[in-house]
Amino acid sequence: MNCFRIISFIEGISYLVLVFIAMPLKYLGESLGLMKIMGMGHGILFILFCIFLFTYSKKNNITKEIRMSYFIHSLSPFGFLLIERSLKTSKKPSNQTIDIS
């Protein structure tokens, strides 16, 4: 799960940089260099995200609906935050003890 969360976070940050820094520089400052670098980097990270999403969902028996919601969240710039919140709420503590008194 840690690898999927890390890739999701890095892919989300790269998307934010692409949308809010590289694209405005391309159109306002007419600078194509950063856009090409960030575009390719984000594309590679997105493909890795899809691979890690598939392996994470198979390994942890995630339903098709949740997998699709993670994919759809990844298409919006701040979607990685929704994925992170969903992963945190679905995380079950494994060493929790029950006290019967």
Q: Which pLDDT tens digit goes with each residue over 55-67?
A: 999 999 989 999 9
Longest dimension (CA), the chain: 69
Entry pTM: 0.81
3-state secondary structure of 58: helix
List all residues 6 or more positions away from 95 whose beta carbon is below 8 Å from its beta carbon: none
Locate tokens 């809010």: which residue?
A: 20
Give helix 33-59 / helix 64-73 axis angle, nearest 10°: 170
Q: How far apart are CA 75 and CA 67, in angstroms?
A: 13
Q: Which pLDDT tens digit goes with each residue over 65-88?
A: 999 999 999 999 999 999 999 888
Which of these ranges, 2-6, 49-53, 64-68, has the smallest mean pLDDT?
Answer: 2-6
